[in-house]
Each structure stands twice: as C-alpha cells, then as structure tokens.
Amino acid sequence: MKKSAKIIACALVVLLTCFVQVILGKNTGLQNKSEDVHPPLFDTPSYVELYDGNTLNIELTAKESCHMGSMSVVLVNTNPEGKGTISFVLDDASGNEIWTAELGESSVVIGEWTGIGNTDFYLEEGVVYRLLVTANGCDPFFIKTQLDATNKVLPFSESIEGVDTGISLGTTLISDKPLTYADVFYHSRILSVILGLALICFIVFGYGRSVMALRKVPELKVLEGFGSDIFLGVLFITLCFSIWINGYLEGINISADSAGYLREAVNMAAGNGFHYDGIAGYKSSWFANWPILYPAMIALMMKITGLEVYAASKVLSMVLVGVLILILRITYKKDAWFYAMFMTNLGLMYLYWYSWSELPFIIFMVLFALSLHRVLVDNENRVLNYAFLGISAFLCFLTRYFGIFTYFVIGLYMALLIADNIWGSKKADIRKIVYMGITAFISGCMCILYMLNNKIQNGMPSGVSRSMWWDDYQTLTGDLVKALLAEIFNVFHIDVPSYISGLSYGKSVLIVLLVIVILAVFVLGNAKKFSRESVFVTTGVVYYGMFIVIRYFSSMDTFYYRFFAPASFLLTLGIAGLLLGKMRNVRFRNGLLLAVIAFVCIFGWSDYAEHIRTNKLPYYDIVQMNWDGDYAEIPDRSVVIFSTLDYRSQYYRPDVVEGTISPEDTMDSLKERYFGSSQMCILTSDATAMVDAGIYDNSINKAITDNLDDAKKYCVITLN
C-alpha cells in the first residue's frame, strides 16, 4: 500500500473511532440512568403476613431528595391463577394522595421482585410519606428484612405499624444524568479505541510486521516468560474476591452440613475436642456424622487469625484455593494456567462459597491421583511415593467418608498390573503390586480404626444411620440426568441454557450419552494406560460410578453439583492435559493466555466495584442482627423445645441445643435427658397450647404455668 493511501486509511480509522466515541456519548433518548435498589432478603421462611381485607400501614421518611422511578415488592403466598388484587396508595404527611397503583395477584411471580405499576415521583429529604398496602381477595405475604439493613440501603427509612422488621419493598432510583449508549454497551469505549489502534498498526506496518513488533514488546516477553504465573496470581485474587463477596458481603452460604462443621469447629477451638455439644455441657456428644479434618482446619484458622468461625471458614477457603493453584503450578509448571482455568467451573465456585468439606477433599483427591501416577511410573519403587499414596488416600477419607473410594481405585490399578503380568507383552513389576497392596492395607486399616472409634464413642460408625429411605427411582434418575447435564455446562462457568433444560427427558438423556461417548472416544484414543491424564480420568470415572450406585442404595440428598464437582474437576484435568498436547504448536496460545488474563481481571473487578459502588451492609452482618434478635431471650446453656430457630445458626449459639417433649415425659425425665442445660425454653404460644391440650404430665404443666406470667416470646423454665 502506498504511503498516501496508508495516511488516508489511518485518518479514516481515526475519524471512524472518534465518530464511534461521539455516538457512544449520545443520549439514548429513552431514559436517565437508573439503579434498582433492593434490601437484602432472608432465605428463611419469615414473613410479614397480610390477609384479605387488611391494610399494612408503612411510614417512609426520606433520607435524601431523589427521583424514584418505580417501586417493587417480593410477595409469597399468592396464586398465579388468583383473581385478587393488592392496592398501593402513597400519601404525603397531610394525607394528600401522591399516587395509587394496583397489582393483580396473577401477575405476581412468587419470590421475585415485581413492579407495582406507575409510581414515578420525587422524594424530598426529611418529608414523611405513608404507604398503605391493602389485600383484596388474596393473602400476600412480604418477606421480612432486617430493619437496620433496609434503612441503610434504601433512600428512605421504614417504620411499619405493628411490625418490628422491614419488608421486601424496593425502588428504582433515576439519576439526573441521561442514559448514553456507552452505558448500555459495557466497555464499548475502550474496546473501540483498542480496535482502532490495532487497525492503524496493521495499515502502517502490515499484519506480519505488526505481529513481529508485538513479540518484541517487553511486556509481551514478560507474558511469554511469566504469563502463567501472572494468570495464576490474578485468578487467585479474583477467586478470593468471589469468596468474600458471595460468601460474606452478598450472601451467607450455610447448609445444614455447614452448620454442623462450624459448630464442631467452635467446640474444637474452645478445647472440647471432637465433642459437638461440649460448650452446651454435653461432653458425650462425639462428632461422627462427618469426618473431623475439615472442622479441625476451621478451628486452626480461628486460632491463627482470631476470627469468628464463619469468617475463618471463608479465609480457609481462600487459603485452600491458593494451595490448589500452587499444586497445579508445581505439577504443570508454565502450562498451569491452562489447567487452572477450569477452577472456574461453576459447581466449584459454589463449593468455594459454601462452608463445605469438598474443597479440601478435591485437594487431597488431586494429590492422591498425582501420587498414584508417581507410583505407577516409578521404576525404583521409592518408599516415599507409597507413603504419599497411603497418606493422601487417608486424608480423602478424613475429609469425606466417601473418600474410601480411593482404595477401590488402587485396587483397580493393582488388577491392571496383574493382568499385564499375566497377559501383557511387558511384564509388570510384582513388587509394585505387593507394595501397593501393603500401602492400601495399612492406610485402609487406619480408616477402619477411625470408624471403629466412632462406633464406640457414638454408637454408629458414621454418626447416623445411612440406610435406604424410600425413593421414587424415576424421579431420582431424572435428577441424575439433570445433574450430569449441569456438569457439562458448569465446566464453562455457565448455567444450563433454558432451551436445553426445557428439553424432554429422552432428549436430555441423548445429549448426556452423546457427550459421554465423545469424551470416551477422545480419551481412549489419546491417553496412555498409566499416564497422568489417564489416572485423573480413571479416578474421576470410578468416583462417578461408585457414587451413583451408592446413592441408589443409601440415604442422602439427590444428585447435584456438590456431589459431582470434585470428580468433574479430576476429569477436566485429565482431558485438559490431552487437549494441551494437541495445542503444543498452536501459535495463538500466548494470545489466548492474554485474553484469559484480561477477562478474569475485568470479571473480578466488576464484582468488586459493584459492591464498593453500592456500599451495602455485609449480608452476614444482617443475618447476625436477625440471629441476635432470635436468641435475645434465650439464656446461656439452654435447651429450646420444638425449636423454630434458623437451622443455620446452630454454630452461632453453640451453648444452645434443640429438644422435644412427649406426653410420656416428666420434669424429672427432662432434667435427666437435658442434664447439660440450665434452662428449658418453649415458645410462649407453644407452651400455652401444651397446657390447654391436657396431654402432658402435671409436673410439666405446673412448670409451664409457674413461668407463663413472666414469659415474653419464650417461656423459660429452670432445669438445674
């Protein structure tokens, strides 16, 4: 291209880029910038109830002057086919109507934010408004919110007649600044500039010379030498932000299992060992429902950091993510970035956020597979390799009882070595088979001794009966197909598209089978028998197979990501190794790494910046406020009868236990059963109903009656 033509072309690119910037800065003409502001909602069933014909009287005091574009609510207990309506009337302090709106019951999506019509108006700082919500022909329930948190987030303070909490009432704030096209198309300004500069480089120097010049840029040379480590560092920081934001600031990720782990960790940190209710005064409460290693890790983190248990569990998750990244770095060296990409598996992300034992379990599974591979390829049969194999298998068991599957993997490879020795062209080393057997036996005996101790201390090897409950096998199989389908998409950090999830059962099965066949053909055609990749894939497949079979014969949750994500990660590492082998000579690998680093940086910063911009009260603090209210009347060392407390708070008050009373009980039997507790608490409404029922022992009725006069929310009875 001639010099004059290049100048003209570059000028056109500059003009085009400037034109794009001008267009992006133009107002859309649709509306000003807006932001939805919603108070954080609790995911426990706690409602402000509104029944047909009743009115909820809400006083709103404006904290600032602003333009409110609309208001929205979250309602439950409505019928999508119902004919009722919910009316909303906003008055000023003098009783003058500002606006009125009506929401049809059938238009409410239960549990989701729903707009309540045209409620556009200006809020004036310091002015008191009154919102009247009336149910007509329906019974809509609002979800309760923590009042302090609600008033911090919203531009007004709520005060509800007869209610001491906030409700699921949100709004849209409209800015004075108009909405531009740049606001609609995120990152469009910087992307258009980068594209313009790239076009100018190609015009001036040509494609080939531009690429050569880029390779000489010092920063890109750094990328070639340290790009993998840069990515691993960026990924670690991003995942830590994700854990902090999703597990603490924006949500509280505690399941029933999590509450158990945390409660045991608190007891361990307090010096009560493995006694789950030691702080509550029950020294015989041996913790056996789950292996002890994960709560022990949390307790250790509490001691090191001085943090309370939930925060310590989040820090532990960050540390474990770092350990896993370090293992990948040591194992795969400069190629570690490619394997680490799959740590963003959507199922794994959920595991990072929750206080669950799966994250350390995954680490020990990876170490197990690496140790097993080292044993299989080692010609000298080093003792250290077998020691690592036995220890890693035992650590898998100490993290999850299902970790015992690792011994079946060892047995499978022993069988393969025996088959090679009998029928193979290359005879296997008999000593290797013997040493693997000895390793599995010694390590397996440690597992058996652990469960035997559980049996002695707790009465059951794994703490609870895990015999089969009744299951609808057709539903269970349907859940299995859905879970396997989700695992396929989770690898790419996306949910199952609605079109795919909406397919018939038969088509979903075909998709799953097709993916399995494709992966099987690819692995069998490329993996060597005892390669690292084949060991990862084999371990993952054995995990999948054993877990699916066990689930059909034992009691636990249905199939979902928590069960399959650890094995999926192993499979992904194995398949990633095979794929990388085919990419050795691909020229765009550094470009791919650069794009991945840029994407992860933007992805991580977007989450962080969103939280900083909204400046919300941490969700965990909000939940703690709610728990403080729930436990306010419950004295130290109490047993709560027929407890309605949030199950997630079991660790929050480890001095409190749950209990029941049956018609056969007496006060003496209750004192004997709940010997560790100083008081017995019963909801006042339940206590009154128990006395009125006339089916409980006179000693219990008398104890309740003697304490009802002083009762508030709870009737508190002294036990000892």
Residue-wise pLDDT for 505-526, tens only, equals 888 899 999 999 999 999 988 8
Cβ 53 vs Cβ 136: under 8 Å: yes
Residue 71 corresponds to which tokens in the numbers above? 């208001």
Helix (H) / strand (E) element for 86: namely strand 85-91
User: What pLDDT is attached to residue 303?
Assistant: 95
Segment 543-585, tens digit of pLDDT: 999 999 988 887 777 888 889 999 999 999 999 999 887 776 5
Q: What domains can be seen in the chain, in order of their start residue?
A: 3-24+181-222 (no CATH), 32-179 (2.60.120.820), 622-718 (no CATH)
Helices and strands (H and E) in the chain: how many: 24, 17
User: What pLDDT is attached to residue 315?
Assistant: 96
Residue 32 corresponds to which tokens in the numbers above? 């000003």
Cβ 553 vs Cβ 468: under 8 Å: yes
Side-chain-facing half-sphere of 550: CA atoms under 13 Å: 15
Please report the DSSP string for 190-241 in residue order. Answer: HHHHHHHHHHHHHHHHHHHHHHHHHHHSHHHHHHHHHHHHHHHHHHHHHHHH
Amino acid identity for residue 129 in this structure: Y
Query: Cα–Cα distance between 449 and 186 in angstroms, integer?
Result: 58
User: What pLDDT is attached to residue 539?
Assistant: 96
Q: Is the pLDDT of residue 183 over 70?
A: no
% residues pLDDT > 90 (the chain): 38
Cβ 385 vs Cβ 275: under 8 Å: no
Segment 240-255, tens digit of pLDDT: 988 988 888 877 888 8
CA-based nearest residue to 142, from 104, 108, 102: 108
Count other C-beta atoms under 10 Å from residue 402's C-beta: 18
Side-chain-facing half-sphere of 481: CA atoms under 13 Å: 21
Alpha helices, DSSP H, located in 63-110: none
% residues pLDDT > 70 (the chain): 87
Angle at the Cα of 605 (from 602 to 610), degrees rounded to 5? 120
Average pLDDT, the chain: 84
Cβ 411 vs Cβ 548: under 8 Å: no
Angle at the Cα of 699 (from 695 to 705), degrees rounded to 5? 85
Listed in order, strand segments (DSSP E) in 365-423 are none
Q: Judge if pTM exceeds 0.85.
A: no
Cβ 565 vs Cβ 359: under 8 Å: no
Query: Cα–Cα distance between 53 and 280 in angstroms, integer?
Result: 46
Q: Is 173 helix (H, G, I), strand (E, B) or coil?
A: strand
User: What pLDDT is attached to residue 714?
Assistant: 92
> What sign results for the dihedral spanned by CA atoms 668, 672, 674, 678?
positive
Amino acid identity for residue 445 in this structure: C
Cβ 313 vs Cβ 524: under 8 Å: no
Instruction: Identify which of 104-113, 340-349, 388-397, 668-677 has the greatest average pLDDT.
Output: 388-397
